[in-house]
Amino acid sequence: MRNVVVTRWTRICSTTCNLATVAQCAPTQVHSIHQYVSYFCNGAINAMDVIRVNKSAITAVEDYLEYRRIVGEDDGGILFTSEQYAAYKQQVLPTRLQNRLYVSCGVPGGMDCKLIGPETLCFCSHRYKQHQTDFEKVPLERPLALPCRVSSCSCTSYSYIHLNGSQPVRCRCKHSAQDHSEAGGRRCRKCSTCAAFYSPYTCSCGQPSYAHKTLVETKEERLARGMPVGQDVPYVAMGGLTGFSSLAEGFLRLENRRLGNPPYSGLELAGSRSSVDCWFEKADGACSQTADINSLKQKKSDLKTREDEDMAVFERRYKERLEMEEARKQKVLPPKGPRPSATPQRNRGRPEG
pLDDT digits (tens, 9 = 90+) for 157-209: 999 999 998 899 999 999 999 999 988 789 999 998 999 999 989 998 899 99
Highest mean pLDDT among 21-25, 54-58, 176-180, 253-257: 176-180
Per-range mean pLDDT, top range of 70-74, 276-280, 325-329: 70-74
pLDDT of amino acid 1: 34
Answer yes or no: is pLDDT of 88 > 90. Answer: yes
pTM equals: 0.63
pLDDT tens digits, one per residue of 271-292 = 444 443 443 444 444 444 444 4
User: How much is the pLDDT for 214?
Assistant: 95
Confidence at residue 203, expressed as pLDDT on a 0 to 100 scale: 92
Which of these, 311, 297, 326, lies nearest to 94 by C-alpha position? Answer: 297
How many CB atoms are closer than 10 A to CB 17? Answer: 16
Of the ranges 6-15, 51-60, 123-132, which one carries the lowest mean pLDDT score?
Answer: 6-15
Residues 6+ apart with CB under 8 A from 45: 36, 39
Confidence label for 344 from pLDDT (cuts 50, 70 and 90)? low
Query: What is the pLDDT at residue 321?
Result: 87
* Closest alpha carbon to 24 in 71, 73, 70, 80: 80
CA atoms within 13 A on the CB side of 219: 15
Cβ–Cβ under 8 Å, residues 314 and 249: no
Q: Which pLDDT belongs to residue 137?
A: 92
Say if residue 269's pLDDT is above 60: no
- For 199-256, how does the pLDDT look when each residue is reduced to its tens digit (9 = 90+)? 989 998 899 999 999 999 999 999 998 888 988 889 999 999 988 888 888 878 765 4
How sure is the predictor about 36, in pLDDT bands with cuts at 50, 70 and 90?
Answer: very low
Tell whether the model's pLDDT for residue 131 goes beyond 70: yes
Using alpha carbons only, what angle is made at residue 249 by residues 12 and 290, rounded to the nearest 5 degrees? 80
| Residue 124 amino acid letter | C
pLDDT at 316: 83
Q: What is the mean pLDDT of the chain?
A: 75
Least confident of 101-105, 274-278, 326-330, 345-349: 274-278
**Percent of the chain with pLDDT strictly greater than 70:** 63
Q: Is the pLDDT of residue 48 over 50?
A: yes
Average confidence (pLDDT) over 130-158: 92
